[in-house]
Amino acid sequence: MRSVSLNRSSLHSSFAWVLIGNVIYALSQWGMVIALARLSTPSALGRFTLGIAISTPVILFANLQLRSVLASDAARAYEFREYVGLRLLTTSLALALISTLAFSLYRDPGVSFVIALVGLAKSIESISDLFYGLFQMNDRLDQIGKSMIIKGFISVLGFSAGLYLGHHILWAIAGLAAGWLGLLLLFDVRRGVQLLSDPPRHGVARRLELARRTFPLGFVTTLMALNLYMPRYFIQGTLGEEQQGAFSAIAYTTVAVILIADALGHAAIPRLARLYVAGTRDQFRSLVVKLGMAGLAFTAGSVFVAAVAGPSILAIVFGRHYVPYSSLLTWLLASGGLSGVAALLTVGLTAARHFRVQVIMFAVVTVVNALACAWFVPRLGLTGAALALLIAESVHVAIAAILIVRVGSCAAPKTVAPQAVAS
């Protein structure tokens, strides 16, 4: 059994860079929502969030969680070029599907174009996401942090400029997409190619093998998105576009909680993968437990802040007319915190290359969420939607914890060596 040392300063530095990037990016997302809430109508905000809710599950399925698979590829079973080739193919198919859904499901062209344009922006973002996996694999999370910091400023600038100059949500999204494309080409690609040195091995068979192995994660990410946006589907059908806009605005306050968990997970996953491959189960389990406990501590703190200062926070950020939703803020922060804890535990499953079991886990969570939404939203309105999320994420944490205990006690799955697939 090999020993893998935990360089705490390195892990802390990686977390710090990703956290700073996530915070800046979260603030930029928040800024876009605030701009829409204050400068536009709840209907426009509802259309924007509907576009995200429609396009995100499709894009996430197409992503196949290749970023996490690449970052945890401690055995270097596949080359980065193979990951890129697969990502470009699946993203192109996803964008075509989003556009088809947008223009076939909605008669209003304004809604259809918003959904399609959001899909284009998310497609560009998915390419940058894969380069983040390359940075993670090479322990260069500082590059991720820098990219996300730039992305945050570009997002607000492009989105706000489009909204101000074009006076329409379509121009705002176009400005956002243009900014993300510039970041991809001028920063992510340029920094990423500097980390590549191996000559490429061509072959369709290797890409097909990679797609086969990561295909379950496509279902996982789609179910994750459906779980996140499930209440909004019920709100749209039961309470209307305006209530969906209000719910979405409040829900964006949970982004900070989720992104902190995201920063912790992305900083830890390469190290977790190395620990698992080396067979150091005690260190693997210890790091996963520490991640989960950190998530629980932050959840408790955020809920306390919301309970004490929720009305003031909403008044300052969104305006006085959002103050009545202060209890909704508390419920959403609680569910968002549990979502972060579950995500940190799931990072351990991904690092250990246990992909298929995640499909079952997220399927159960999504079904629980849908049933809870169907029961609570018509009866309790927006509070019922938040309560449904809280129930679903509690189930998620419980299942993920059980799976981590099992995974931490079993042998590492066999990895495919680069020569195992004919090129």
What confidence score (pLDDT) does residue 10 get? Answer: 61
- Residue 186: CB atoms within 10 A of its CB come to 11
User: Long-range contacts of range 155-160, CB-CB < 8 Å, 24 or more positions apart?
Assistant: 155/25, 155/28, 155/29, 155/31, 155/32, 155/179, 155/180, 156/28, 156/31, 156/32, 159/32, 159/35, 160/31, 160/32, 160/35
| Residue 170 exposed, middle or buried by CB count within 10 Å (0-12, 13-18, 19+) | middle
143 HSE (CA, 13 A, CB side): 25
- Taking only the tens place, the pLDDT of each residue in 321-352 is 788 888 999 999 999 899 989 989 998 898 88
What confidence score (pLDDT) does residue 423 get? Answer: 25
Alpha helices of 138-203 — where are they, by DSSP H? 141-166, 169-183, 189-193
What confidence score (pLDDT) does residue 203 get? Answer: 58
What confidence score (pLDDT) does residue 411 get? Answer: 54
What confidence score (pLDDT) does residue 256 get? Answer: 66
pTM: 0.68
- Taking only the tens place, the pLDDT of each residue in 202-211 is 556 777 777 7
Compute CA distances 307 → 189, 302, 327, whole Å.
44, 9, 8
Distance, CA of 54 to CA of 58 (rounded, Å):
7
Per-10-residue mean pLDDT for the chain, 423 residues long?
A: 46 73 79 74 75 84 85 78 89 93 83 90 93 86 88 88 82 91 92 73 68 79 80 82 77 73 81 85 88 89 89 82 87 91 90 86 94 94 93 95 83 44 29
> Is there a contact between 113 and 51 (Cβ–Cβ < 8 Å)?
no
319: left (phi over 0), alpha (psi -120 to 50) or beta: left
The closest alpha carbon to 182, from 144, 155, 146, 161, belongs to 155
- Taking only the tens place, the pLDDT of each residue in 181-191 is 999 999 999 89
- Taking only the tens place, the pLDDT of each residue in 85-112 is 889 999 999 999 999 998 988 777 878 8
| Residue 286 exposed, middle or buried by CB count within 10 Å (0-12, 13-18, 19+) | middle
Output the six-digit token pair for 254.
């949970």
